[in-house]
């Protein structure tokens, strides 16, 4: 009998705290993703976090914390999501694993990072996940949700990706503590309609989601 993955118990505990109920297959995919990220990271330097146990908390559970809010935002709707500056696939890969009903595209300007996403999609069998090697400003496709994690200021994120946002789409920016100065610096054409506080199991740090849409007239 194959021994359980050394991080499986911690992952199961974490998704329970987050109120998620992934299948056994999805748990396997999440752990396989951590293994792939750790292996590729030795050569391609995808993330500054080196240890798989630390990746579980700082990357996997951090990204899993957005699944509940994302589902509430997109419930009952066909959804195409763009992960901007995806790097090693966070949160895009995690969303693709846990929400197979969502089409996920991960865009990054660095070829080795998009090659990794492509490898993940093939290895883990994720037909709804694709990688795009480009700058987000150059995309012509439109997406219902445009997200980023530690990518840029809110003003830069929305300005660079506005061309990729569907007419009634929303931005979902993953941030640490509430970035009030960044919110205040947004143009009047961007409306912040919700700031959602997140709790990441095992991570002693503030996290939040900043939800935005076009058409605001100021805050």
CA angle 195, 141, 219 (to 5 degrees): 25
Please write the tens of the pLDDT for every residue from 185-219.
999 999 999 999 999 999 999 999 999 999 865 44
pTM of the prediction?
0.95
Please write the tens of the pLDDT for every residue from 140-150.
999 999 999 98
Please write the tens of the pLDDT for every residue from 61-115.
999 999 999 999 999 889 999 999 998 999 999 999 999 999 999 999 999 999 9
CB under 8 Å to 97, separation ≥6 — which residues?
22, 26, 29, 30, 33, 124, 126
Q: How far apart are CA 118 and CA 177, in angstroms?
A: 32
Domains of the chain, by residue range, sit at 8-214
Can you read off the two tokens belonging to residue 96? Answer: 């693709």
User: Residue 55 has what pLDDT?
Assistant: 86
**Residue 157: band (very low, low, confident or very high) from pLDDT cuts 50, 70, 90:** very high
Q: How far apart are CA 94 and CA 44, in angstroms?
A: 20
Q: What share of the chain is helix, strand, coil (3-state, %, to 5)?
A: 40, 25, 35
* Overall average pLDDT of the 166-185 stretch: 97
**Could you tell me how far CA 58 lies from the centroid of its own chain?**
12
Neighbours of 166 (CB within 10 A): 16
Percent of the chain having pLDDT more than 70? 97
Its CATH architecture, for the domain 8-214, is: 3-Layer(aba) Sandwich (3.40)
């Amino acid at each position: 009998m194959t021994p359980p993955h050394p991080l499986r118990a911690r992952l199961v505990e974490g998704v329970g705290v987050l109120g998620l109920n992934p299948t056994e297959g999805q748990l396997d995919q999440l752990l396989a993703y951590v293994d792939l990220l750790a292996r590729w990271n030795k050569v391609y330097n995808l993330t500054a976090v080196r240890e798989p146990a630390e990746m579980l908390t700082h990357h996997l559970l951090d990204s899993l914390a957005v699944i509940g809010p994302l589902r509430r935002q997109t419930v009952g709707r066909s959804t195409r999501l763009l992960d901007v500056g995806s790097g090693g696939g966070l949160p895009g890969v995690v969303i693709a694993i846990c929400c197979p009903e969502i089409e996920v595209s991960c865009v990054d300007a660095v070829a080795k990072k998009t090659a990794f996403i492509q490898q993940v999609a093939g290895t883990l069998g994720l037909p709804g996940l694709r990688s795009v090697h480009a700058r987000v400003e150059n995309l012509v496709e439109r997406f219902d949700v445009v997200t980023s994690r530690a990518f840029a200021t809110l003003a830069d994120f929305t300005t660079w990706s506005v061309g990729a946002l569907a007419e009634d789409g929303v931005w979902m920016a993953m941030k640490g503590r509430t970035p009030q100065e960044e919110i205040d610096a947004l143009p009047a054409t961007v409306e912040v309609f919700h700031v959602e506080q997140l709790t990441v199991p095992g991570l002693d740090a503030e996290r939040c989601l900043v939800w935005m849409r076009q058409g605001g007239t100021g805050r």
